[in-house]
Structure 1
Amino acid sequence: MSAEIDSENLLSRASELIDLAIKAGADKADAVVIRSSSRSVSVRLGKVEGTEASESDDFALRVFVGNRVASVSANPGFDIKVLAERAVSMAKVSPEDPYACLADEANLAQTYPDLELYDPTEVSTDQLRDAALAAEQAALDVQGVTNSSGAGASAGAGGLVLVTSHGFSGSYMGSRFGHSVSVIAGEGTKMERDYDFDSRLYYADLDDAALIGRRAGERVVKRINPRQVDTGSNVTVVFDPRIARGFVGTIAGAINGASVARKTSFLRDKMGQQVLKSGLHITDDPLIVRGSSSRPFDGEGVSGERMVMIEDGVLKHWFLSTSTGRELGLQTNGRGVRGGTSVTPASTNLALEPGDIDPQDLIRQIGNGFYVTELIGQGTNMITGEYSRGATGFWIENGELSFAVSEVTIASNLKDMFMRLTPANDIDRKFGVASPTIAIEGMTLAGR
């Protein structure tokens, strides 16, 4: 990948954009350049279906005139003077926003660490093609696999340059490599589909493509000939780690300061209260070396630090950017994410910290229950906490996974689910959201 940031040039251009905005009448401003490049290959049944490549630099300028704010964005080649003047003109006629602002100067990062987020390894299109083909073939070689939905391999990089009118200037790069495959087992109306993938910052850390394919094949074969099970009102449901990661992401959404400010989180009145079982912790750390979602500073130039968001089951913090913090009467904790022309709070390397029980022992202790490997639909109400999702997986019988299950629905309220959650000890921290296997007692299962 040839996406190294020419930081001096881009920092200079962003600084010039800021100066022009101030001359045009802005009281303060910030400018960001988001650089990205990517290359990917997709295959199906041994043939290349598509090859894609892209590269871009996107400039965004945000200006403040009193309590009025406006943002504009452009691609390279724009007239920066015209862009700055347009942004200021827009701000002057925008409605006042008492919370929109730059980060306080005292909160800006003076120095920031090298988190080793960028791997300069050049991966050719041929290498990507060979990896995708190897993943697919390994999956097709698993007995019982009957077809392929396709496989892919990708390599990409991205970077951020940020300059503010009150003294911050910084940049960093990150890379990303991935392998994925999706295959089918069974025939006709009894076909089942499953997948596997891996995504890493460093190419050498990627799981072998053939291993990913084999795992996908083995997963889908186990799902052949699923059954329905009887409806039950007090079922223990176990979430496979890749499903558990999504569930932990739901917790992150509930403690996002923007949701709290909008009153769209069912935890909005729970600060300082018990929201998970005692002994459970949710952490968030933007400074993990080679961490999937690490960053040396946030989208406003503020360095975050490791935080225990939920400690011993008690809610301790919201995710906050500067404007969201102001709205809630709090200080930013360096979780602002620049999305083009706006800044919103979000998690970084988020983890439900593991328990001390092996997942096999956890399942054995349950006796009978439901092990979920896939969820269907979007039945989660973040305002009330009501939760209802279609699910497939395996029935747990006498402490062991027995037969495949499909066409069932699991339901509860997230407040109750959080308080009945038990984590295993098998956490894998390679993704931006990390979770071990989790068991949740007392759920309703709607089956036959």
Structure 2
Amino acid sequence: MSVDLKDLAHQLLAAAKKAGAEASDVLVAEDNGTSMEIRGGALEQAERAEGVDLGLRVLMGQRQACVAISDSRPAAIAEMAARAVAMAKEAPEDPDIGLATQDQLATGWDVAALDLEDTVAAPTPPDLEDLARRAEAAAMAKKGITQVSDAGASAGRTRIYLATSNGFEGGYARTSFGISCVAICGEGLAMERDYAYETRMHMADMPDAESIGALAAERALARAGSKRPKTGAYPVIFDERISSGLIGHLISAINGASIARGTSWLKDAMGEQVLPEGLSITKEPGRKRASGSRPFDAEGLPVTERALVEDGILKSWLLDLGTARKLGLTPSGDAVRGTNGPPMPGLGNLSLTQGSQSLEDLIREMGEGFLVTSLMGASINANTGDYSRGASGFWVRGGEIAEPVNEGTIAGNLRDMLKTITPANDARQHLSRRVPSLRVEGLTIAGN
């Protein structure tokens, strides 16, 4: 049975106060998950994970320390609190740390409206095993597939509870379900592989296992006979499967922690154009059935939808309390944290403005270039935005996909790249980060 997270949080706060903490906050998280993997028609691996993690942050003046344990016995909690207070007394001073003031704290949220938790009975281990088998069988049924390296299904539930010594407390739960398949075609050095993976917060929203296995197989077969791409300057399309990573580099660059340190290639770009006109990036913490949704942030502040980039213009940093104080700005409810560290700025759900064209339209207009479906390795300069990554996908010629390619490298500068993007209209609406396929002009491609 699930433990009482609220009671554990109260125990932690009381222990911190007894140990001498001037202020404190706690995050208690309970995770339960089951996963099954199939290989060659046989059960390869079965895992069941259950646990409760307790995270305590204590503040002594302008000093802080964080301690995490997974032992909820009263004696362990008391020892944890004493250790945290002792560590905080020795920590360096930071003038920007501290809990939120009462007027900053969230009130009156509606967890039910977010619909983050599937209350229907979760699939059993035999159910998950059956889903994995069905995905594998669908992939192997495709002519040319030589093996499925793994097929799996999982189900999980997470509950969290946040409480502070100045009166905030609240909790919520979320569920997740997933099915994956990795298919391989060819033999020896001619092997090619690709995957399909789907995850949802409600089991009823999951696509059937057969469609996932078949898609993995189709993607692998399309990669047969890959060779290196041409070398030169060409347009590049980032397929929807990977395009959110490109926008993720912009999100990292507007993180308040990077801005405060002066280590971001966008540190002086507030109010400037960073995307083409007409494109916006919107933070959406209240989207229903989305994995990045939450009723409050990790410091107990309210979360609201807002534009980070509006009509191409950078409008906002991601800020927690500490970085907002450092920068002399108002906190924006962007704090995230785990049980073993202090809050920091972060982002869950976002949406990039959809385009009016399909992926096929972008390919046709491109003429010749590189459709990238997979990225590997990374060389990203956080200060300059210089970008270089290994890539594979398909070469486009005459506005049509000509042949699969691999072992290529694409390079450019993020600030220049993002100003040239053209979005398609194919973003998957259930994803936390809804970003369509993106065409970028004039990247340097190294291949044959």
1:82 aligned to which of 57, 79, 83: 79
Say whether residues 1:432 and 2:438 are aligned partners: no
* Aligned counterpart, 1:211: 211
2:14 aligned to which of 19, 28, 31: 19
**Equivalent AA in structure 1 for residue 239 of structure 2:** D
* Aligned counterpart, 2:165: 165
* Aligned counterpart, 2:260: 261
**3-state SS of 1:379 partner:** strand
Rounded Cα–Cα distance in structure 1 between residues aligned with 2:198 and 2:173: 20
1:100 aligned to which of 97, 105, 115: 97
Shift of 1:331: 1.9
Shift of 1:229: 3.2
* Aligned counterpart, 1:63: 58
Rounded Cα–Cα distance in structure 2 between residues aligned with 1:150 and 1:288: 32
Shift of 1:100: 1.5
* Aligned counterpart, 1:285: 284
Rounded Cα–Cα distance in structure 1 between residues aligned with 2:98 and 2:177: 36
CA RMSD of aligned residues (A): 1.3
Conserved? CA contact 2:309–2:316, under 8 Å: yes
Say whether residues 1:194 and 2:217 are aligned partners: no
Rounded Cα–Cα distance in structure 2 between residues aligned with 1:168 and 1:302: 9
**Equivalent AA in structure 1 for residue 33 of structure 2:** S
* Aligned counterpart, 1:249: 248
Shift of 1:191: 0.6
Say whether residues 1:113 and 2:135 are aligned partners: no
More off after superposition, 18-27 vs 124-133: 18-27
**Equivalent AA in structure 1 for residue 316 of structure 2:** H
Shift of 1:257: 1.0
Rounded Cα–Cα distance in structure 1 between residues aligned with 2:238 and 2:213: 22
* Aligned counterpart, 2:356: 356
**Equivalent AA in structure 2 for residue 219 of structure 1:** R
2:42 aligned to which of 44, 47, 72: 47
Say whether residues 1:126 and 2:126 are aligned partners: yes
Rounded Cα–Cα distance in structure 1 between residues aligned with 2:64 and 2:39: 48
Shift of 1:282: 0.7
For residues 256-292 of structure 1, the C-alpha deviation after alignment (integer angstroms, 9 at most, x for no partner) is 1112122221111111111111111111111111112
**3-state SS of 1:339 partner:** coil
Rounded Cα–Cα distance in structure 2 between residues aligned with 1:393 and 1:421: 19
More off after superposition, 10-19 vs 217-226: 10-19
Say whether residues 1:406 and 2:402 are aligned partners: no
Conserved? CA contact 1:281–1:313, under 8 Å: yes
Say whether residues 1:327 and 2:326 are aligned partners: yes
**Equivalent AA in structure 2 for residue 37 of structure 1:** N
**3-state SS of 2:123 partner:** coil
* Aligned counterpart, 1:275: 274
**3-state SS of 1:378 partner:** strand
For residues 352-408 of structure 1, the C-alpha deviation after alignment (integer angstroms, 9 at most, x for no partner) is 221112221121111111111111211222221111111111111111112111121
More off after superposition, 281-290 vs 12-21: 12-21
Rounded Cα–Cα distance in structure 1 between residues aligned with 2:8 and 2:377: 45
* Aligned counterpart, 2:156: 156
**3-state SS of 2:343 partner:** strand
Conserved? CA contact 2:55–2:338, under 8 Å: no
* Aligned counterpart, 1:228: 228
Shift of 1:320: 1.1
Rounded Cα–Cα distance in structure 2 between residues aligned with 1:197 and 1:74: 33
**3-state SS of 2:365 partner:** helix
Q: Extract unaligned runs of 5+ from structure 2.
A: none
Conserved? CA contact 2:290–2:432, under 8 Å: yes
Conserved? CA contact 2:146–2:184, under 8 Å: yes
**3-state SS of 2:293 partner:** coil
**Equivalent AA in structure 1 for residue 381 of structure 2:** N
Rounded Cα–Cα distance in structure 2 between residues aligned with 1:141 and 1:280: 42
Shift of 1:78: 4.6
**Equivalent AA in structure 2 for residue 296 of structure 1:** P
More off after superposition, 128-137 vs 426-435: 426-435
Rounded Cα–Cα distance in structure 1 between residues aligned with 2:331 and 2:208: 40
Q: Extract unaligned runs of 5+ from structure 1.
A: none
* Aligned counterpart, 1:309: 308
Shift of 1:107: 1.5
More off after superposition, 374-383 vs 294-303: 374-383
**Equivalent AA in structure 2 for residue 411 of structure 1:** A
Conserved? CA contact 1:249–1:433, under 8 Å: no
**3-state SS of 1:56 partner:** strand
**3-state SS of 1:101 partner:** coil
Shift of 1:55: 0.8
More off after superposition, 179-188 vs 72-81: 72-81
Rounded Cα–Cα distance in structure 2 between residues aligned with 1:10 and 1:188: 52
* Aligned counterpart, 1:422: 422
Conserved? CA contact 2:5–2:160, under 8 Å: no
Shift of 1:176: 0.6
For residues 37-86 of structure 1, the C-alpha deviation after alignment (integer angstroms, 9 at most, x for no partner) is 11000111111111000111111111111101111122222523332222
Rounded Cα–Cα distance in structure 2 between residues aligned with 1:227 and 1:23: 66
For residues 73-107 of structure 1, the C-alpha deviation after alignment (integer angstroms, 9 at most, x for no partner) is 22222523332222222212221111111123212
Rounded Cα–Cα distance in structure 1 between residues aligned with 2:156 and 2:148: 25
Rounded Cα–Cα distance in structure 1 between residues aligned with 2:231 and 2:313: 33
**3-state SS of 1:91 partner:** helix
Rounded Cα–Cα distance in structure 1 between residues aligned with 2:302 and 2:156: 25
For residues 103-129 of structure 1, the C-alpha deviation after alignment (integer angstroms, 9 at most, x for no partner) is 232121111112110113321000100
Say whether residues 1:31 and 2:26 are aligned partners: yes
Rounded Cα–Cα distance in structure 2 between residues aligned with 1:14 and 1:292: 24
**Equivalent AA in structure 2 for residue 85 of structure 1:** A
**3-state SS of 1:259 partner:** helix
Conserved? CA contact 1:248–1:433, under 8 Å: no
**Equivalent AA in structure 2 for residue 87 of structure 1:** A
